[in-house]
Amino acid sequence: MSKLTTIAIDAMGGDNAPQAIVQGAIEALKENENVKIVLVGTKEPVDAELAKYSYDKDRVEVVYTTEEIDMGDHPVQAIRQKKDSSMVVAMKMLKEGTVDAMISAGSSGALLAGGQLVVGRVKGVERAPFAPILPTETGATLLIDSGANVDASPSHLVQYAKMGDIYFQCTMGRKPSIGIVNIGLEEEKGNKLVKDTFPLLKECKDINFVGSVEAREIPAGAVDVAVCDAFTGNVIVKLYEGMGKTLLRMIKAGLMTTFKSKIGALLVKDSLKNTLKQFDAAEHGGAPMLGLNGLLIKTHGNSSHMEIKNAVKQCLGCIEQGITEKMKAAFANNVEE
Amino acid sequence: MSKLTTIAIDAMGGDNAPQAIVQGAIEALKENENVKIVLVGTKEPVDAELAKYSYDKDRVEVVYTTEEIDMGDHPVQAIRQKKDSSMVVAMKMLKEGTVDAMISAGSSGALLAGGQLVVGRVKGVERAPFAPILPTETGATLLIDSGANVDASPSHLVQYAKMGDIYFQCTMGRKPSIGIVNIGLEEEKGNKLVKDTFPLLKECKDINFVGSVEAREIPAGAVDVAVCDAFTGNVIVKLYEGMGKTLLRMIKAGLMTTFKSKIGALLVKDSLKNTLKQFDAAEHGGAPMLGLNGLLIKTHGNSSHMEIKNAVKQCLGCIEQGITEKMKAAFANNVEE
């Protein structure tokens, strides 16, 4: 048997923990024979969930913890004080190399804080950004950053582009087109950050920088990787979510207004569902936090077992491609600066 | 007969000029007996369009110009050099008080430049923002700013909130709820601009400031007025547009995939069209440029006659409410500062 890839999963993170987390982990185990799962969480509920399934016990380990980080906790304080929380313990294992990757559906703020404080950044990396995957008409676009740094500097954005290039290649197997989120296509457009960053990205010969991308072109799939500060990124991710939900609600309500449309609704239901599923962020896997000493994937707070299972697959692909080693090599030159 | 409100319309602005512009102007004339329209544009095409209609000639004036500002022109240069363009001539009439308001579907950049350089700001106003109207589930939200100032300061955002308060009351007849676009609801969230602006907005006793609004809540109609810098505003407006168009295209394509859904599509067509119409920005009128010495409304580049007609109605409401006088009174105290 080839060497197993070991993935720690924060069993207590997210709205549906530990049920959905444990279920997704067991499903992933069955679909991927080269993975070992380390479930990190509180003894009673995790054991109770595990007892529901039959599975290969050699490939599941449980690490018991006594604390949980809640959505209401202050991120930095929680990471510093709840040392025996499922999230912090999993992060320590990632840092120490006991596991190859980590998945959590827990608080984004705590994951960001813990990523920096516990896991630590690859040497030479200035900020470790969150990179959610936005569904598009033609597939998906990686948006970097949506969490780490709301007042980013040009050098941060250049590093995001390089990290996006590596991550995209590891997951998709081809070199991505990379754009900077802007308010027009011309080089002289933009706020100070974008204007200062644009020429630096043009100088990067190792990435496929295609210039500015306007927000209206993102849903159509104009670029593979879109780079921006975390304030802009957060607005984009949340507006995506809000527009999708609102339009869905309005379409549903609209279909229920006349007898004719009610009949039609029955006939178009499956087709509409498929279309909207294509635009559901959860279908496209979790958001990696890039540039850390180990692969950390954050799934949605309301992650289903499907999303956890998909995140495991996502980790396996990245680890196989040696993502962390590639990140280390790419930024090794920055260390002395 | 009561005094007529005089509105200058840039007959050469936008993709469908002068046909749609002249048609919309004539329709507005027929629907509103207290309006006089001044069409500003090139003699031959404007006269040819006007010849198609019969209308009250006492309430239409044509001012002939010899130049046009194109989308490709550099905004500031175009305003400075094309002194006999339809846009600049209309702006001069607005500045001099020959007309009460002005409508143009022309270049946003040129309108922004001309607003500052030709029409001029109300005394005490630091920046004149663009305020597009975003369709929402419950109606519409005024977004300020989407064009004037990509690197705004806290005092700009506070002024936007005050201008939004006045404009909303003039058009909707009630005091609006006002939020600041943010990446979380807590006061400590945000980039530097938002964190610095938040306490200043809290201190404004004359507006109904309700705190932060996350981008995901905007489509649901969480606030009446949302304040942000122009970079963020532009991202929001364009993502709105892009999401709407992409989802519509995907839904249409999805409905054509099976025989069942094709039949269903015929039955739900009207209902879907109504729902999506509700979410079409063009249905909600033009974007005012606030804080100028006169009311300037920018309609979409691809404005139809309907949008021009709606913009005339929008102007009439604002003028009736004395919008410019209210702006002047609100910022008179700032002049000495």
Low-confidence ranges of chain B (pLDDT < 70): 1-2, 281-283, 335-337
| pLDDT reported for residue B2 | 65
Q: Any chain A CB within 8 A of the CB of B229? A: yes
pLDDT greater than 90 at residue A279: no
**Residue of B229, B217, B214 lying closest to B136 (CA atoms):** B217
Of A219, A254, A274, Cβ closest to residue B274: A254
Q: Which helix (H) or strand (E) holds B146?
A: none
Report the C-alpha gap between A70 and B170 in whole angstroms. 45
Binary contact (A239, B219; C-beta < 8 A): yes
User: Rounded to a whole number, what is the distance in Å from the CA of A201 to chain B's nearest CA?
Assistant: 19
The answer to whether the CB atoms of B234 and A246 lie below 8 A apart is no
Helices (H) and strands (E) in chain A, counts: 11, 11
**Pairing relationship of beta strands B139-144 and B133-136 according to DSSP bridges:** antiparallel
Separation in Å, CA of A255 to nearest CA in chain B? 6
pLDDT tens column, A134-160: 999 999 999 999 988 899 999 999 999
Lowest mean pLDDT among A250-254, A316-320, B34-38, B203-207: A250-254
Asked if B254 has any chain A CB less than 8 Å from its own CB, the reply is: yes
pLDDT tens-place string over residues A27-36: 999 999 999 9
A268 closest CB neighbour out of B183, B243, B264: B264
Q: In what order do the strands lie in the sheet with A139-144?
A: A133-136, A139-144, A225-227, A177-182, A208-214
For residue A1, pLDDT beyond 60: no
- Residue A259 CA to residue A256 CA, distance in Å, equals 8
Mean pLDDT of A305-315: 94
- Residues B242/A220, Cβ–Cβ less than 8 Å: yes
Please tell me the distance in Å from A198's CA to the nearest CA on chain B: 15
**B315 SS3 class:** helix
Separation of CA A129 from chain center: 10
State whether residue B185 sits within 8 Å of chain A by CB: no
Residue A96 pLDDT > 90, yes or no? Answer: yes
Phi, psi (5° rounding) for residue B8? -85, 135
Task: State whether residue A243 sits within 8 Å of chain B by CB.
Answer: yes
**Angstroms from B195 CA to nearest CA on chain A:** 11
Confidence of residue A273 (pLDDT cuts 50, 70, 90): confident
Residue A92 tokens, joined: 């320590």
Q: What is the pLDDT of residue B337?
A: 45
Cβ pair A243:B219 closer than 8 A: yes
Q: Does A58 contact chain B (CB < 8 Å)?
A: no
Is residue A243 predicted with pLDDT exceeding 50? yes
Q: What is the pTM of this model?
A: 0.93
Strand partners for B8: B38, B102
- Residue A194 has what pLDDT? 97
**Quick one: which of A305, A229, A288, A327 has its CA closest to A108?**
A288
Task: Give the Cβ contact number of residue B60 at 10 Å.
Answer: 18
> A329 touching B, CB under 8 A?
no
Question: Hey, what amino acid is at A222?
Answer: A
Q: Give which of A49, A60, A32, A46 is closest to A315, Cα–Cα.
A: A32
**Of how many residues is chain B composed?**
337
What's the CA gap between A93 and A40, in Å, rounded? 10
pLDDT of A2 reads: 66
- When scoring A146, A157, A237, A239 by the number of chain B Cβ atoms within 10 A, the one with the most, hence best to mutate, is A239
Question: Which CATH architecture best describes the domain B1-125+291-337?
Answer: 3-Layer(aba) Sandwich (3.40)
Q: Assess A48–B contact: CB distance below 8 Å, yes or no.
A: no
* B301 at A interface, C-beta within 8 A: no
A–B interface: beta-carbon pairs under 8 A? 187
Interface test with B, best of A151, A193, A261 (most B CBs within 10 A): A261
Cβ atoms of A41 and A87 closer than 8 Å: no
Q: Is B267–A272 a contact, with Cβ atoms under 8 angstroms apart?
A: no
Sheet holding B287-289, edge to edge: B60-65, B35-42, B5-10, B101-104, B295-298, B287-289
Contact A264 B265 (CB under 8 A): yes
Q: Per-residue DSSP letters for B30-64?
A: HH-TTEEEEEEEEHHHHHHHHTT----GGGEEEEE
**What CA–CA distances, in Å, run from B285 to A31, B13, B217, B258, B310?**
54, 16, 22, 38, 6
Three-state DSSP class for residue B190? coil
Boundaries of every domain in chain A: 1-125+291-337
Closest partner residue to A268 (CB to CB) among B242, B261, B278 is B261
**Rounded to an integer, what distance in angstroms lies between the CA atom of residue B18 and that of residue B65?**
13
Q: Which of A218, A246, A257 sits opposite B219 (nearest CB)?
A: A246
Q: What is the pLDDT of residue B187?
A: 78
Percent helix, strand, coil in chain B, to 5, is 50, 20, 30
**Rounded to the nearest 10 degrees, what angle do helices B230-255 and B259-278 cross at?**
150
Reduced to 3 states, what is the DSSP secondary structure of residue B9? strand
Vertex B201: Cα angle to B196 and B204 (nearest 5): 140
The answer to whether residues B39 and B46 touch, using CB atoms and an 8 Å cutoff, is yes
- State the distance between the two ends of chain A, measured CA to CA, in whole angstroms: 43
Strand pairing category for B5-10 and B101-104: parallel
Helix, strand, or coil (residue A103): strand
Show Cβ contacts of residue B185 under 8 Å, excluding neighbours closer than 6 positions.
Answer: B211, B212, B214
Report the run of H or E that residue A74 belongs to, with start and end. Answer: none
Contacts of B137 in chain A (CB under 8 A): 246, 249-250
**pLDDT tens by residue, A207-238:** 999 999 999 999 999 999 999 999 999 999 99
Output the pLDDT for position A335.
Answer: 59
pLDDT band at A337; cut points 50, 70, 90? very low
Tokens 């790419």, located at residue: A330
C-alpha–C-alpha distance, residues B212 and B1, integer Å: 47
Among B165, B151, B141, B111, residue whose Cα is nearest residue B297? B111
Residue corresponding to tokens 């979510």 = A241
Residues 99-138 of A with CB under 8 A from B: 136-137
Residue B257 in contact with partner chain A when CB distance is under 8 A = yes
Q: In the predicted model, is pLDDT for residue A336 greater than 80?
A: no
Residue A71's pLDDT is what?
A: 86
Q: How many C-beta atoms surround the C-beta of residue B277 within 10 A? A: 11
